[in-house]
Amino acid sequence: MGLCSLFLVTLLLLTSFAVCQLEEFISIDCGGTSNYTDKSTGLAWISDSGIMKHGKPVEVQNPSGNKFQYQRRREFPIDSRKYCYTLVTEERRRYLVRATFKYGNLDDGDTYPQFQLYLDATKWATVSIYDASRIYAKEMIFRAPSNSIDVCMCCATTGSPFISTLELRPLNLSMYATDFEGSFFLKVAARINFGAPSEDVVRYPDDPYDRIWESDLIKRQNYLVGVAPGTERINTTKKIEIETRENPPVKVMQTAVVGTKGILSYRLNLEDFPGNARAYAYFAEIEDLPKNETRKFKLEQPYIADYSNAVVNIAENANGSYTLYEPSYMNVSLEFVLSFSFVKTRDSTQGPLLNAMEISKYMPIASKTDRQDSNFVNAFRFLSAESVLKNEGDPCVPTPWEWVNCSTTTPPRITKINLSRRNLKGEIPGKLNNMEALTELWLDGNMLTGQLPDMSNLINVKIMHLENNKLTGPLPSYLGSLPSLQALFIQNNSFSGVIPSGLLSGKIIFNFDDNPELHKGNKKHFQLMLGISIGVLVILLILFLTSLVLLLILRRKTSQQKRDEKGVSGRSSTKPLTGYSFGRDGNIMDEGTAYYITLSELKEATNNFSKNIGKGSFGSVYYGKMKDGKEVAVKTMTDPSSYGNQQFVNEVALLSRIHHRNLVPLIGYCEEEYQHILVYEYMHNGTLREYIHECSSQKQLDWLARLRIAEDAAKGLEYLHTGCNPSIIHRDVKTSNILLDINMRAKVSDFGLSRLAEEDLTHISSVARGTVGYLDPEYYANQQLTEKSDVYSFGVVLLELLSGKKAVSSEDYGPEMNIVHWVC
């Protein structure tokens, strides 16, 4: 009685699990017109007509007939948008998601489609259709990063993007767990049932997780070819014990192939390889071997030599026959063409056996849009009924929504919002203040109400259009002090109160017409405050000039030679060093300042020079953060003795007058304790060389970004050659001396101690300072250094930008070793 009760309880638990599992399945018939149950599998399918509002259902033309879910497909427009299905998930639970595609016969004039498939921001696959009768299935195994995930189609190169079905299957417990699942998805490349009795796939209900196991009898180009002679198919009806982590279905484990001549070998192509993979082999001894018979074999695969020494003895490894043994290869590098063999050992009496295998590629998880940016733009979608705001998927990747622009940083940030005349109603979402990368905001021509939210953190915003709305309340005082603001339009609203004085300074384009309750404030009060301010400034100027005169007198009393020997500077950290130059009319011009920074301040900012971020011709470079929060790059001179103190100060004075948006600005300097140090603005995105030659795929530059960088660098060099008087020849133009700021704009660096060309000279002669591969060949011959030398080096930089190859490489160019010879 007890045994019978235990059996009934176990059966009840298994039945309950199967029912729960089935209820959690999501099966979407894309393009379908109604909901139904597939009689062959018992799976319930729902139409996407209430889920997807874009695209149109299209009848599949195929005379061979289809399953019901392949009678129609959903086809999307050919445009720059992405079209996404959002699937509800349970955060941190593992799932299998499957998208299938069946196109059917072509209509006259049509071409087979090719487009991109994305899972959230991660590229999943390139869908290329070239066989009308085939059902193309793409599967990904992932641990849910949040409570939903997006499956998106976009970027068609031929034909229209489309989809036939979309399925989501929850997995159990630790199935397919890896050490890398926080950073990688698993893209299924192969799941094969060996020894299958027919070409039919095995799936639900035979597999409770509805994985699709393809038969090894399927005939397809480059699929399981190179089969060894003597390969035979075997099967059993006995139950196989499969209680292991991946739980392959019993039906799959009841069939196998055996190498009767001592070897099993196969060859197949793996989509999107080479790459790193997780591979599973499934073995179960399904023959009744006599006691004196053994089955031992090894894997022979040159790319995974570490695993080739292990001997597989199925019955021994699995603790008996008819029991699953599941070795896995956690992280193995595989080529596009996978050739593998199982070979019996010398002491084995039976040939190798294989029941099934799975191979999945590790796909790096791409960064989605910054969460705070995403939350803000999603809030706007509830302010309008227009379909243009009903966008699916991530705001920036793989393609941006049509009303936003995004940066190329990781993670992407939203830089522009254009919602002019979109019939927006309600208050501007309060999360706007988190959009720190925003440069343009266009909300004009709507029916927005209420007061302005806090926008004091929008330090990069340049243009704001808020006109023609119903906004009320005072204008916040911080609007006049936003550091990058260039234009503000608020006309035809109902703002009230006093206009902040910073908006009336003339530095900002400001239009506030048709706001009757808005005024400029008390004129007398303004004049009084202006007079007080001018008086204070005059007093401060007198004190400064007096201090400067006293300091000059004091410095004249101190011998320059004695100061050099002591190596100690008497400057204050608040004293600026002013650079002068002669204008074309011969008059002296004051063109810029570089502040003196004490060595103790630099040690504090750099944590005692602990974070080295590079090394240039001047010396080592360290990251630092000043007390005011400003991030800096601190360059220490390798050989301070090569410059006298006065010579160094003169050089800094000359550098302090060079100001251009495409040149890395000099902030300050230090000459103390025999140290010569230059302090520059920190460039957050490093060097151009890193982005071209050393970065991961997530940081690759598109063509527009490359064009922008080339233009920025060219403007910086042009300013050195023609905008400075006397002109400056850089002498070491290369990709590692072109830096990228937080907005991916290029700035030329390391022109710090370049020689200044005489105004009336066309060239200078100097010791070679450039880098091999970038130097003008004529310079080697005549030692004449001109602006043309920089132009030649910049040409090499352009070749690197276009080709992605290094300037010098024996691997790429052979004995010539140079990209210029390679191109010519």
Distance of CA 465 to the CA centre of its chain: 30
Query: In whole numbers, what is the pLDDT of the chain averaged over residues?
Result: 84
pLDDT tops 50 at residue 675: yes
Q: Which residue has the higher pLDDT, 216 or 692?
A: 216
The token duo for 736 is 């590692």
pLDDT of 226-265, one tens digit each?
A: 899 999 999 999 999 988 889 999 999 999 999 999 999 9
Question: What integer is the mean pLDDT of 483-494?
Answer: 95
Question: What integer is the mean pLDDT of 1-15?
Answer: 37
Rounded to whole angstroms, the Cα distance separating 412 from 120 reads 13
Pick out the residues of the known binding site: 635
Confidence (pLDDT) at 622 = 94
Which of 2.60.120.430, 3.30.930.10, 1.10.287.3510, 3.30.390.30 is the CATH number of 22-171?
Answer: 2.60.120.430
Confidence (pLDDT) at 67 = 83
pLDDT tops 90 at residue 304: no
pLDDT of 771-781, one tens digit each?
A: 888 888 887 77
Q: Reduce the DSSP state of residue 573 to 3 states and report it.
A: coil
Residue 544: phi and psi, rounded to 5, are -65, -45
Q: Reduce the DSSP state of residue 216 to 3 states and report it.
A: coil
Query: Pick the catalytic residue: 120, 216, 732, 776?
Result: 732
Residue whose entry in the numeric block shows the structure tokens 């920190």: 682
**Fold classification of 688-824 (topology level):** Transferase(Phosphotransferase); domain 1 (1.10.510)
pLDDT tops 70 at residue 368: yes
pLDDT tops 50 at residue 8: no
Cβ neighbours of 103 (radius 10 Å): 28
Q: Which residue has the higher pLDDT, 484 or 66?
A: 484
Q: What is the pTM of this model?
A: 0.62
pLDDT tops 60 at residue 361: yes
Kindly compute the dihedral angle of the four CA atoms of residues 77, 78, 81, 85, in this order, to the nearest 10 degrees. 50
704 pLDDT band, cuts 50/70/90, is confident
Pick out the residues of the known binding site for ATP: 635
Active site residue 732: yes
Kindly compute the dihedral angle of the four CA atoms of residues 118, 124, 126, 127, in this order, to the nearest 10 degrees. -80
**Fold classification of 371-523 (topology level):** 3.80.10
List of residues 6+ apart from 740 with CB closer than 8 A: 683, 684, 685, 686, 687, 688, 691, 709, 746, 747
Spatial contact of 308 and 301, defined as CB atoms under 8 Å apart: yes
pLDDT tops 80 at residue 625: yes
Most confident of 458-467, 547-556, 670-679: 458-467
pLDDT of 308-340, one tens digit each?
A: 778 999 989 988 899 999 988 888 999 999 999
Question: What integer is the mean pLDDT of 602-629?
Answer: 88
Q: Could you tell me the residue ranges of all domains in the chain? A: 22-171, 221-364, 371-523, 562-682, 688-824
List of residues 6+ apart from 87 with CB closer than 8 A: 26, 97, 148, 149, 150, 151, 166, 168
Cβ neighbours of 107 (radius 10 Å): 8
Give CA angle at 546 (541, 552), nearest 5°: 125
In angstroms, what CA-CA distances link 140 with 44, 119, 216, 349?
Answer: 21, 9, 21, 40
Please report how many Cα atoms fall inside a 13 Å half-sphere around the Cα of residue 212, on the Cβ side.
21
Confidence (pLDDT) at 762 = 42
Is 2.70.170.10 the CATH number for 221-364?
Answer: no
Q: How many residues are recorded in the chain? A: 824
Spatial contact of 85 and 29, defined as CB atoms under 8 Å apart: no
492 pLDDT band, cuts 50/70/90, is very high
Question: What integer is the mean pLDDT of 462-470?
Answer: 96
Same fold, 562-682 and 688-824: no
Rounded to whole angstroms, the Cα distance separating 822 from 824 reads 6
CATH architecture of 562-682: 2-Layer Sandwich (3.30)
Confidence (pLDDT) at 574 = 44
pLDDT tops 90 at residue 420: yes
Confidence (pLDDT) at 778 = 80
Confidence (pLDDT) at 590 = 40
